[in-house]
Structure formats: structure tokens, C-alpha cells
Structure 1
């Protein structure tokens, strides 16, 4: 029995890590990486390095406080300042909706790449598939299993393409530490796409739902957070190397679908079909993560939401699908969503840091000072970079 409990606990911890990682590794992740690698070349390695360091600090702070307190993000915020949790929940749910519209679009583009199906019809199919997960009585277990399988498949396929492009690895390493420029908009977009908005809370909320919380579980919680960031970072680096191998040869990406053209140029029609599978997997897993976490922010405000969480998640997915079908523009939506989530990060992380010293939230727990100080630096830096990046947002839809 003990072994079964350990196995179940390990499975949940790994599931939470993959939920966080696959929430980050969405269509926006793929589109942002391909677009910025095309624009910045090897210097994009520096953007990845900065965003990964900041993301890791944010994740460890947030997961620890959620785990120790046993509270969801919005409840933590309400304990810091009454009413703040409602505001944070609104922002996170709104950002999650923006991201999910892009996720639906990305998954639809994946089906379009594989089968040539119209993206609006494909979007409807993807919405139905995602809704099917939450019609299951074992939705949590199904979600954990699916994110693990899809996450592993994406890493294998992107890894194959990365090694087939013969990328300039030496230049990539050099520019990662000595960049040609400091691309602020790219850093904020990547930061938002990795830990912005709902993504920061996805794994932590999943652990709470599975009953994993308390100061005595901190080592497991830390390990789960680090695993999630490791998976997301590995995928980002492999994709960066794959696209860099293409653009370093002077080849131009198609602006209508940058990552798809990169895979096609790298490995021909097989690479193109591989990308379709990766994009679909990224889209479906991110639809699930965005819907689950966004609705989890609303459960504290009404028993109707808490008692019917899966139904609300299904409604969230349905609304996202309908909006995409009527609006479209997936590539710009995916980049926009990452940028908006980057702007939300200073508020959500700042709130968690304030809560780390609040006994109503954490009791007698002593949050590590080094983690607090690094968290404050990330809040200040992300706020500064976020404000500076607003011009980039305006230019995106100019």
C-alpha cells in the first residue's frame, strides 16, 4: 500500500510538472520562438536565458507559497488585501481566455498542416476533443496522463528536427552570453508565455486539487516545479536550435505560420507533418491547462463554480473556440497573449511575495530570504520591461 501511495504521489507530482510545462509549451510558445529566432538569430539564446532564470524564480516562489498555505492564488491575494483576489482572478481568467483562443487556433493550424482541413472546422474538432477530457469522471487523472504523453511526444519530434538542421551551436552559445542587443519585447513575451498569467499557478493548483500541500511536502513541490521548468526549457532550446539551423542558412520563414515553415525547410514534407503533430499536441495540452487553471481561479467565489468545475471548464473551452472561429488571426493572437500575460506577472508574483510573510497565509513558515529577494528583483524587472514593451504591442497590430 505504501508503494502504491508513493507511486500515485510521484505520478501526481510529475503530472503537475507536465501540466505547467505543456501549458507553457503551447502554440504561442512555438510561434514566439520561431518568430523571434527569425528576427534575432543566435541572440535569441540570450532572451531564453534571461526568461528562464526569471521564470524559475517566479515558479519556485509561487509554488512554495501555494503549497505551504494550501490556498489557491486568488485566496492568497484576498488575504493580502481584501478584494485583490477578485481582481487577480479577473485578470488571470481574461489572460487565460486570450491564450486559449490562441491555443484553439494553434491546434487548428496543426490539423490544417496534417490533413489540410479548414482551420475553422479544425478548431471545432479540437474544442470537442478538449471538452471530452472534462466529461470524464476521472478528469484529473486523464489530464495528467494526456499532458505527459503529449509533452514527451513534442520533445522527441522537435529534438529530431533540431538535430537534422545542423545548427550553428557555437554561435548560439556565444550569443546567449554576449548578445548583439537586449530585445526587451521578446524577453517580456517569453516570460509571459512561460510563467505569465495562469501558467504560474497551473501546477500549484493541480497539486492542491490532488491533496498535496503543507510545509512537509515542500521538497516534493520544489522538485515538481523544477521538473516543469526543465521540460519547458528543454523544449524551448530544442526549438530555438531547430529554427536557428534554418534561418542561419538564409532561408525565410512564412510569416503566416513561422514554425511550420521552419520545420518544412528543415526536414521537407516529413518535417512539415511532424510540426503539425507537435502544434496539435501543444494546442490541445495548452487548451486543457488554460481552461483548468483559469476556472480554478473562479472556484472560491461561488459554490456554483466549485461544485460544477468541470462544466465551467467545458464552457470556457466552448467560448474560446467560438471566439476563435469568428475572429481568427492566430499568429498575432498567440504573440499578443504572451505579452499580456507578461504584464500580469508583476502583480501576481508581487502578491505572492507579500503573502510569504503573512501569518494568515503561511503560518509559522519562514520563506527563504534569497528566494524572496530574487522574487522582488523579478517583479521589478518584469514591471520595467513590461512597460517598455508596450510600444511593441502597439506595433504588433499596426
Structure 2
């Protein structure tokens, strides 16, 4: 019998590069969502709601899946980045999205770099600013590499796995009431709608909405023939984010259930890790915080650059340069300010709150009404459109809450 034709070395290399980029896209979406704010937010909500927080996590994961399945599918089918699609729908709309993401991304990146400095401090001690600057330098070095794309993919996978394994250990030693958590995931003792919407905004808000989908375009997995793979990848990324949320929830729940009172105005996640595993737990928290911070620095900077540079192979080097400049600006502001002032954080949150509803409304408009010209005639599933419309309504509710914070700040 004649043997099957084996792929040539260039073909095998191209296939490996495609798989690496797709895996990188999955972890870019997941790790971008897991930043310093993610850790604090999860710890605070767990301390406030206890086992009932499990229901909010489950519902938020379902909503996140509905959002990301639509975003990845529309971007994958069109082969265009979000701002390119936006400009095709309404001239100039894509550049508005790019402006909002860049402004919000820089401010939150100051917080991400500050978080990385705190992570280094928790691991080894030392000056927080030095740790933050060193982390920014590591991120810049990665984008200076001639194989920046492959380096990005591998580093994000390693960071994601490390965060999950260390948090799994702390969740195990904290001995959480798993039975109570499982019961509340289905039959909650309380339901807090604001908590659910806040989780959704933190997981798929701002640049995070498009981080994985834009990296997915680099993998070449676009067009109608790759719809199934794109759908699986989008769901996988959200599930990984949800898994990290669940592990952190269980770690903190075990500590709270044992009677430990966490200081919600301080660093409740760090306190929970230390209460569960002592000094080793604090070191582990430092690693998790640093990994979460540098991955968010990478995600915010890379995605902002993809909104400013056209999606063309010959523009990859320019995209890396813009990413580096973005990190340098954020790092310089961190050194000057120490961390982003509360007022700036509130305004950046408002910008982020606008990105999701504006951009996602555009995505769903394309899915429902521009199938023929922008989606290559693909017949978009009705059930996915319905889920997307629900997601749009939630996104606008999040924007209302976000701007409510701005008005409160201004005293109006």
C-alpha cells in the first residue's frame, strides 16, 4: 500500500505556527481578563456574598460566552479587525473605538504595572517601582524579538498555567465548603444583579473584548471554513478565565468560611492567600499577581496597537513598535504618578464601559444585517443573534453604571 503523503517541513512549520497563534489567542483573551483588578474584585465579592457568589460566576460565564462567540465569529468571518469593521459600518466609527481603547488602556496599564511591582515585592521584597519598571522592560524585550508573535503565545500560555496551578494549590489547602458552593451555583441564597454585570464588564469589557479575536486573525483561522474552530476557541478562552475565577473564589471562600475577616479596603486577595498557606501563600500570591499584571500589560498594549495599525503582514513590525511605545508611556506615567489616580481610574472605567456596548452593538449589527457583504454570505445562526442582543442590553446597562460613577465623582 502506498503511504500517505507526509507534510513538508515548511508545511509542518506553518501548521505549528498556526496552532501556536490560535493557542496564544485563547490565552491572550483569558489572561488579559485576569489582571490585578480581577484578583481584588473576586476576593471582595467572595467575602461579601460567600457561597452565593458561585451563582454570579456561573451566570457571568454564560453571558461572557455569548459575547465572545459573537465577537470571534464576526471578526473571524470578515477577516477584519474591529475598527476596520466599524469604519465599514459607519465611516470614522472604528477610529472612535480605537481612541476609547487607547485612552482607557494607558490608564489601566499604569495600574497593571503598579500591580506587577507589588507582585515582585510580595515575592522578593524590594522597591515596588523597580519591580514595575523591570516588568515593563521584560514586556518590551518580548516585542523587540524577531519572533515576537511566537514569544507572545508561549509566554501567555506559561503565565496562564502558572496562575491556575498556584491558585489551585491555595484553593485546596484553604478547604472551602465545595458542597455549599455547588448548591449555590444552581440554587443561590441571594442574587445580586449588580455583581453579575460588574463581573461581565471586568471579563469582556474594554480592550479585552477584542484581544483574543485580533490575535486569532494572525493565526489565519478565518473565513467560513474555520467557523467551528473559531467558536471552540472563543468558548475555551472564556472557560479558562472562568476556571481561574472559580479557583480564586474557592481559595477565598475557604478562608472566609473559617472565620477570617478580610480587609476589603486593603488587599483581600493577598490576605486570603496568606491566611490559607502562610508565608508560602503570600509568595504564591506575589507570583499570581505578577503573572496577572504582566499578562494584562501585554494584552492592553498589544490590543491597543492592533486598533491603531492596519491588519497587514508588512505592518507587523510597526505594530510591535507601537506596542512598545504604549508600554513606555504607561511605565513613564507609573514612575511619575506611582499609580493611576482614582479620578483617572473612574474616567478610564467610563471609557471602557463605552467600548463594550458601542463595539458590540456594531458587531451584532454586522451579524444580523451585513451577512452578505461583510461575512461572505454566511447565514448567521438566529440563536446566536438572540444571545448577542441580550449581551448588548447588558453592555448598555454596564455603561449606565460606569457613567453613573463619573457623575457621582463630579458631584452632579
Match of 1:142 among 110, 129, 151: 151
Match of 1:288 among 273, 288, 298: 298
Q: The residue matched to 2:144 in structure 1 has which SS? A: coil
1:197 alignment counterpart? 206
How many residue pairs end up in the alignment? 398
Question: What is the aligned-residue RMSD (CA, Å)?
Answer: 2.7
Match of 1:160 among 169, 172, 186: 169
2:357 alignment counterpart? 346
1:126 alignment counterpart? 135
Task: Tell me which moved more, 330-339 or 27-36.
Answer: 330-339
What are the within-5 Å matches in structure 2 for residues 1-398 of structure 1? 1=7, 3-254=12-263, 255-300=265-310, 308-329=318-339, 341-356=352-367, 357-358=369-370, 359-388=372-401, 390-391=403-404
- Cα deviation for residue 303 of structure 1 reads 12
Over residues 335-385 of structure 1, what are the superposed CA-to-partner deviations in whole Å (9 max), with x where a residue is unaligned? Answer: 856675344311111110111231332121111111011100111122124
- Cα deviation for residue 328 of structure 1 reads 3.6
Q: The residue matched to 1:308 in structure 2 has which SS? A: helix
Over residues 272-322 of structure 1, what are the superposed CA-to-partner deviations in whole Å (9 max), with x where a residue is unaligned? Answer: 101101111111111111100111001139999865211111110111122
Q: The residue matched to 2:380 in structure 1 has which SS? A: coil
Counterparts in 2 of 1:87 and 1:305: CA distance versus 1, 3 Å = farther
Answer yes or no: is the 8 Å Cα contact 2:17–2:150 preserved in 1.
no
- TM norm structure 1: 0.92
Greater C-alpha Rg: 2
Task: Tell me which moved more, 183-192 or 222-231.
Answer: 183-192
- Cα deviation for residue 17 of structure 1 reads 0.4
Answer yes or no: is the 8 Å Cα contact 1:57–1:371 preserved in 2.
yes
Structure 2: gaps (5+ residues): 1-6
Q: The residue matched to 1:134 in structure 2 has which SS? A: helix
Structure 1: gaps (5+ residues): none
- TM norm structure 2: 0.89
Answer yes or no: is the 8 Å Cα contact 1:97–1:320 preserved in 2.
yes
| d(CA) in 2 for partners of 1:332, 1:242 | 28
| d(CA) in 1 for partners of 2:252, 2:406 | 23
Answer yes or no: is the 8 Å Cα contact 1:165–1:242 preserved in 2.
yes
Answer yes or no: is the 8 Å Cα contact 1:158–1:238 preserved in 2.
yes
Answer yes or no: is the 8 Å Cα contact 1:12–1:144 preserved in 2.
yes
Counterparts in 2 of 1:221 and 1:331: CA distance versus 1, 3 Å = farther
Counterparts in 2 of 1:305 and 1:14: CA distance versus 1, 3 Å = closer
Answer yes or no: is the 8 Å Cα contact 1:133–1:142 preserved in 2.
yes
| d(CA) in 1 for partners of 2:344, 2:248 | 17
Task: Tell me which moved more, 386-395 or 184-193.
Answer: 386-395
2:3 alignment counterpart? none
| d(CA) in 2 for partners of 1:211, 1:305 | 16
Task: Tell me which moved more, 12-21 or 321-330.
Answer: 321-330
- Cα deviation for residue 117 of structure 1 reads 1.6
| d(CA) in 2 for partners of 1:395, 1:165 | 38
